[in-house]
Chain A
Amino acid sequence: MIIQEMVDILQAEVVAGATKVDNVINGGYASDLLSNVMSQAKTGDIWVTMHAHQNIVAVASLLGLSAVIIAGHVQPDKEAINKADAEEIPLLTTALSVFEVVGLLYSKGVKGV
């Protein structure tokens, strides 16, 4: 599955990194502790978080994540958007909660391990 297919399912908006919406989703990870994400998430994962700080882009880029979805109606900082465009990391926002996002991803076959 690619990121573009998830956009509709998650009622999401692509706010940055739109050039890479054909990234393939290998799996998923959810956490708001960036130190934890750095040690646990895997390349190709879609990362579900409520963090909107620019450091999420650095972490996603470092790990080669397929996208970051910011849940719960949280809007990323301007710096985060600019950085995600520059690093070509898709940033998605949605009004759905983290719980709903993870549930929907799981129901479409995206697994955590």
Chain B
Amino acid sequence: MRQFVADLHVHSVLSPCAEVEMTPRNIVWHAARHGIDIVAITDHNACDNVTAALAAAKGTNVIILPGMEVETKEEVHIIVLFEKMRQLKAWEQFVYEHMSGRLNDEKRFGAQFVVDAEDELIRVKPEMLLTSLSCSMAEVCTKVNDLGGICIASHVDRPANSLIAQLGFIPPDVELAAVEISRLIRPQEAIRRFPTIGNLPIVTSSDAHTIADFLSGPKTIFNIEAPTLHEIQQALKGQNSRKVVIQ
């Protein structure tokens, strides 16, 4: 068993609100030099840069977890994570079926770049990503769990797009693996201020949109055997001596 430092919520240059420095290659390069073992690339309602991140991480000690930050029809943000890229591709299909049909306005919301592992521009994603899908939170969690992934409610302490702000408390028909808190709050304070989190495990991530955010933002340490989603799931459940430690 060893400790792995994980950041399970990082935006790449595909997210319109992220800086252009957030290329998969640059994220991996900084992770490798700063001892960040596990990085989930979680762009808003899209995952086109995960393949480049996986390629960029080849030959390094950094493990990329395929992921996405989904916005449900209740305007709740959920981090979804998968073990394998093919599971994420199946999830992406579901996302496409629930998109608004609106196109991004680059000037107002920011550009959405799809790049390769060498920072070369492949294309600009036209669909508007910074908006809600037409599926509910319960539908998202059911589908993700069916595909073998996990759901983590994003930044539940924040006023915007958080499960607690939007819906007041965690609905009974929603299966979450954890809740994420932002850099603005400590776990003990989060439990006190948001008692409706209940007994769900707490993780903390950078939610980085810049490299500075990525390096300075909070991480979660997992005591696990190997850097896999399966091991992280066991740590979140406290199974087989696996553990979550918040940094």
Contacts and interface: CB of A to CB of B under 8 A. Distances in A.
A53 B137 CA distance: 9
B167 A53 contact: yes
A37 B165 CA distance: 10
A79 B139 CA distance: 13
Interface in B117-138: 136-137
Contacts of A79: 173
Contacts of A35: 164-166, 168
Given A53-B74, A77-B136, A38 B168 contact: yes
Interface residues on A, range: 10 to 19
Contacts of B137: 53
A interface SS class? helix
B35 interface: no
Nearest to B170: A55
Interface residues of B, number: 11
Nearest to B164: A35
A26 interface: no
Contact of A59 (B136, B168, B173): B168
Interface string A65-100: 000000000000101000000000000000000000
17 contacts: A32-B166, A33-B166, A34-B168, A34-B169, A35-B165, A35-B166, A35-B168, A36-B165, A38-B168, A51-B166, A53-B74, A53-B136, A54-B171, A54-B173, A55-B167, A58-B169, A79-B173
